[in-house]
């Protein structure tokens, strides 16, 4: 009489054999890395949106700054104002200089954020390419190398996920040029 092996025992043995199968482990590694590529792609799209927002804001502010410069020059010519103290006596010029002071600080911070997001996007693009290369040679990679790469990617993903949830820039962090510098810049351009 033959002894039969119960179904659950056979199933358990198959599961164990599959879990120790190197092809299955490679498949899991590949799947995990492909998931990271998907996360990177999604985050890169959000970063590009932030860059677009920042560039649009930057362009609007630069346009507004140009209008203010023209208005100051026009008022300077109309009222024959040649010095900074005289300019501060004119309410229109003083107001425009103060407004330019704030807008230039915004533009500076936007420039920094645009560079930051561009660098982050390039960093993520590099990681995505590295993952694609690693998937191509997955059978020769050691688990530790994959874990190291995944850890580095996760740190960058975490940093930029939180950054994409913030406003493009923080008004509280701006540094303004002195109004006199702005006046000097405007009058330098009108002289030359």
pLDDT tens digit sequence for 40-61: 889 899 999 999 999 999 999 9
Contact 105, 113 (CB under 8 A): no
Find all residues with CB under 8 Å of 90, minimum gap 6, and list them.
Answer: 75, 79, 81
Q: How far apart are CA 77 and CA 65, in angstroms?
A: 18
Compute the Cα dihedral for 151, 160, 170, 177 and give only its sign.
Answer: positive
Percent of the chain whose predicted confidence (pLDDT) is above 70: 78
Question: What does the DSSP 8-state code read for residue 20?
Answer: T
pLDDT 10s digits, 118-169 = 999 998 898 888 888 777 766 565 666 667 777 878 888 888 888 888 887 7
Give this prediction's pTM.
0.68
Q: How far apart are CA 108 and CA 112, in angstroms?
A: 6
Q: What is the pLDDT of residue 17?
A: 46
| Residues listed for the chain | 192
Task: State the chain's mean pLDDT as an integer.
Answer: 81
Cα angle: 164, vertex 177, 60; to 5 degrees? 50
């Amino acid at each position: 009489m033959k002894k039969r092996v119960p179904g659950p025992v056979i199933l358990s043995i198959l599961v164990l054999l599959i879990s120790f199968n190197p092809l299955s482990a490679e498949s899991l590694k590949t799947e995990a890395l492909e998931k990271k590529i998907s996360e990177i792609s999604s985050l890169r799209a959000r970063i590009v949106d932030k860059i677009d927002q920042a560039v649009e804001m930057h362009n609007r502010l630069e346009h507004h700054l140009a209008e203010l410069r023209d208005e100051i020059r026009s008022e300077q010519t109309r009222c024959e104002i040649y010095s900074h103290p005289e300019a501060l006596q004119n309410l229109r010029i003083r107001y425009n200089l103060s407004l330019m002071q704030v807008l230039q600080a915004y533009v500076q911070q936007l420039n920094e954020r645009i560079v930051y997001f561009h660098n982050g996007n390039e960093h993520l693009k590099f990681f995505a390419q590295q993952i694609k290369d690693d998937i191509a040679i997955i059978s020769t990679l050691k688990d530790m190398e994959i874990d190291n790469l995944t850890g580095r990617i996760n740190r960058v993903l975490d940093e930029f996920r939180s950054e994409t949830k913030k406003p493009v820039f923080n008004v509280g962090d701006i540094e303004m040029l002195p109004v006199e510098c702005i006046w000097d810049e405007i009058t330098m351009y009108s002289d030359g």
